[in-house]
Amino acid sequence: MRRSAKSARHVLVVAAQAKKPTELPGLKAAAHGLHDVLTDPERGGCTEREESLLYELAPGVTRVRDAVVRAGKAAAADRAVLVLAFLGHGSGEDGQPYRYVVSGDPDDPALDNLDLPSLVGDILDLSGLAGLIVVVDTCHAAGARPDTNAVLNGRQGGTLQRQGLFACASHETAWDFSLTRALTEVLREGLPKAGPFLYPGQPLRSVLQHRITDQTIVHEGGAGGLVADEVLWLARNPRSRPADFGEYATRALDRAYRGAFPGRNRPDSLTEILDQVRAEPPVEELGRWSRQRQLKEMAEALKKSQQVLNLVTQEIGDTLTEENVQAAAVLAGFPGEMVWPVSSPRLRDAVEYAALERHGPSGEFVLLARFLAALAHVHGRTALPPAWGEWLHGCGVRETANTWVNRLGACDPGQQARLVVTLFDDGGEQVSRIEAWLLYGRAVLDRSEPQEIHARGPLSNALQEILRWAKGRVLRIGWILREVDLAVPTLPLLDQAPEHQTVGTRGGRLGIEHTVTVRWAGLLEPPCGVDLSDLLHAGLSLLDSHTGASPCDLQWLKQDVLESPDTLREELAWVSAGKAAWGISERPASRWEEMAEALLVHSPALVWPRGIEDHDPQAFRSAVKEHWTNLPARLAEAYQHGPTRGCGPLDRRAHTGVAWHDKSWQEFCTDQAARIVAAPQDETIDTREYL
């Protein structure tokens, strides 16, 4: 899992003083100076613990080893980056193994001093550590590097990201802690054009080498692994100018830049990045060329996002709030990881995300267009500001934004999110999978991952998980999930009341906890041999043919028509599809499922009695007729309150079955059909590779 530059940071600076006559006069000041800058919250940002600085005269092998191991375990427990610095004497002349002198005398036997390469290798094997930086300022310092084979054969297999900075080559002598003093100065002062963080590699190494002419500064980077390079910084750069992009874009660009230009430092400016890509000579490696092209497209998209930020600030900057940005991100259809983190997304991050996540057939800024439309909506605008419209027109997505403004604006005042849950039978007799969409008016805010019912257990468990997913999204912006559309295939629709499903930790019924409107799922997944366009046309005809206050007219079928499927089909052949909703006052004795599907294919709205015992067909007809113009709201109310509201034959004891069709369901099914047709052309620039 990739960690960000915000990972926790621990430090241990070890300064082992020697006895006279080899005492090191500048050691204490150098150690304290480095420790101070590394624990400065504005610079190194490391946690200052009780033992983050160890300065002692001849501390001995056990004392130093125990301190380093404790520091390593504490950092691993916090999943932190650990910075280790060792200052003092080092031995390793004439090709001898390196030893960090902790005995007080460089001439003591090797066993009296610390095998630092082995100890660093042990730290690299700790599980949970986010990364390791080692600074060694002693003579023969580069000899302190851990053995590569030992690291690769360790428990972590060399996967932990590591960086090392050494005062001199293994055959050289280090003088007066010049590395530590120069490093401390640079970390305090910063470097121009070096980005927001200072890393052990370039350009820091070159700057240090320029200041230290009589030693070879050695830098070593680890062999990769799962942790990204950006966690291994020594200090924040105080001379870094504000970047052209925010945190989200920074992470994406860092990964993209490393893929396009390995070993180089990314410029702060988008213009510099684009200039570098354009000036780069052609490369033969296809993958490298593709990564450079994608980096160029990302930088150009972020240039566009800067224009959008200026437009938004000029138009609504004085009234823009975090809550407005959050609501606009929800209404634009941002995914959960961007919209519902611990804190609300900032405007810059939201705009940059929308710019990088293109969803048009040719990479147009569709999500960005929706976000601007949503911003206009949450600020009470019924149309896009002219400057926004002109900019979107230049990007070819003005129509997308206008459509989104209209869809959001068509919602009634006070309307909140609506959940559409669809059950699919995949041609069998049982529900096999479930999907859900979260809508605001006609705008799809989010879509759940399809769930296989047989793999998830009972249907009620899947419904409960869907409801938990939807509620988690709407609660962040203060909405309550009330409206649920439940689309059901023919057989499950007839066998049981879908709203009767048990959901929630209290075991309540779906129709009690929410206002449920039951739909027929055939307009999303037609029965075998039925054309979807015919069904959608029938649904549109049904809405177009009504003559009263209700969404559609109701026509009761006579009982003799329901003698057999053949008799029913003969009758339907003389009635145009979608002329009216069908009403059944008494269920046929046999082959009811076959006839019900024929009726729904002809016109996707159906009313029938679920109960058979003590059923009064005439009373049922009268009750439906009385409340027809108030359906389905009246039916949901009857289900929730039963006989206490005097609904008579419509209350839940009568088990009235309704597959309802109205304008909102017709629009949703039409939109989904259009997405299915357009899906093969969708070419999203996937920035997840870089995150």
Confidence (pLDDT) at 652: 44
Lowest mean pLDDT among 80-94, 238-252, 415-429, 553-567: 238-252
> What are the C-alpha distances in Å from 107 to residues 135, 173, 493?
23, 15, 89
Higher pLDDT, 423 or 246: 423
Lowest mean pLDDT among 122-131, 138-147, 280-289: 280-289
Task: Write a three-state SS string for 46-105.
Answer: CECCCCCEEEEECCCHHHHHHHHHHHHHHHHHCCCEEEEEEECCEECHHHCCCEECCCCC
Residue 254 tokens, joined: 């860092």
Lowest mean pLDDT among 33-37, 253-257, 444-448, 639-643: 639-643
In degrees and rounded to multiples of 5, residue 555 shows phi and psi of -125, 125
Residue 327 tokens, joined: 């609501």
Bin 335: left if φ > 0, else alpha if -120 < ψ < 50, else beta: beta
> What are the C-alpha distances in Å from 316 to residues 143, 329, 402, 502, 638?
60, 16, 18, 46, 46
Residue 360 has pLDDT above 60, yes or no: no
Higher pLDDT, 252 or 164: 164
Among 12, 21, 9, 31, smallest CA distance to 138 is for 31
Confidence (pLDDT) at 376: 95
**pLDDT tens digits for 174-209?**
999 999 999 999 999 998 877 778 999 888 999 999
Q: Report yes or no: 356 and 336 within 8 Å, Cβ to Cβ.
A: no
Radius of gyration of the chain (CA): 35
Confidence (pLDDT) at 545: 76
CA atoms in the 13 A half-sphere facing the CB of 181 = 12
User: Could you give the 3-state DSSP secondary structure of residue 346?
Assistant: coil
> What are the C-alpha distances in Å from 456 to residues 5, 217, 421, 422?
38, 59, 16, 16
Q: pLDDT-derived band of residue 51, with 50, 70 and 90 as boundaries?
A: confident
**pLDDT tens digits for 519-574?**
999 999 999 899 999 999 999 999 887 655 556 788 999 999 999 999 999 999 99
Confidence (pLDDT) at 562: 93
Residue 473 has pLDDT above 50, yes or no: yes
CA 127, CA 86: separation in Å to the nearest integer? Answer: 23
Q: Report yes or no: 687 and 357 within 8 Å, Cβ to Cβ.
A: yes
Confidence (pLDDT) at 47: 87
The stretch 19-32 carries a mean pLDDT of 91
Confidence (pLDDT) at 549: 57
User: Could you give the 3-state DSSP secondary structure of residue 450?
Assistant: coil
Confidence (pLDDT) at 655: 65
**pLDDT tens digits for 233-272?**
999 888 876 666 777 888 788 888 888 888 777 777 788 8
Lowest mean pLDDT among 4-8, 526-530, 598-602, 611-615: 4-8
CA 152, CA 542: separation in Å to the nearest integer? Answer: 70
Helix axes 366-378 and 347-356, enclosed angle (nearest 10)? 150
SS3 content of the chain, % helix, strand, coil (to 5): 45, 15, 40
Return the top range by mean pLDDT from 250-254, 345-349, 424-428, 488-492: 488-492
User: Could you give the 3-state DSSP secondary structure of residue 518?
Assistant: strand
Residue 359 has pLDDT above 80, yes or no: no
Helix axes 322-332 and 347-356, enclosed angle (nearest 10)? 20
Which residue has tokens 């030693």?
Answer: 215
**pLDDT tens digits for 315-326?**
998 898 888 898
Q: Report yes or no: 488 and 423 within 8 Å, Cβ to Cβ.
A: yes
**pLDDT tens digits for 583-596?**
999 888 889 999 99
Is 3.30.420 the CATH classification of the domain at 413-524? Answer: yes
State which CATH number among 3.20.20.370, 3.40.640.10, 3.40.50.1460, 3.30.1050.10 fits the domain covering 9-241: 3.40.50.1460
Among 247, 301, 248, smallest CA distance to 273 is for 301
User: Could you give the 3-state DSSP secondary structure of residue 294?
Assistant: helix
Mean pLDDT of the chain: 83
Residue 663 has pLDDT above 70, yes or no: yes
Q: pLDDT-derived band of residue 399, with 50, 70 and 90 as boundaries?
A: very high
Residue 637 tokens, joined: 């109310």
Per cent of the chain over pLDDT 70 is 85
Residue 355 has pLDDT above 70, yes or no: yes
CA 62, CA 69: separation in Å to the nearest integer? Answer: 10
Residue 112 has pLDDT above 80, yes or no: yes
Amino acid identity of residue 15, one-letter, is A
Higher pLDDT, 345 or 135: 135
**pLDDT tens digits for 259-313?**
888 877 777 778 888 888 888 776 666 677 788 888 888 888 988 999 999 999 9
Residue 1 has pLDDT above 50, yes or no: no
Bin 130: left if φ > 0, else alpha if -120 < ψ < 50, else beta: alpha
The stretch 147-155 carries a mean pLDDT of 79
Q: pLDDT-derived band of residue 679, with 50, 70 and 90 as boundaries?
A: very low
Size of the chain, expressed as the number of residues it contains:
691
Per cent of the chain over pLDDT 90 is 41
Residue 691 has pLDDT above 50, yes or no: no
- Indicate whether this model's pTM tops 0.85: no
Q: Report yes or no: 96 and 81 within 8 Å, Cβ to Cβ.
A: no
The stretch 451-472 carries a mean pLDDT of 77
Residue 514 tokens, joined: 């929410």
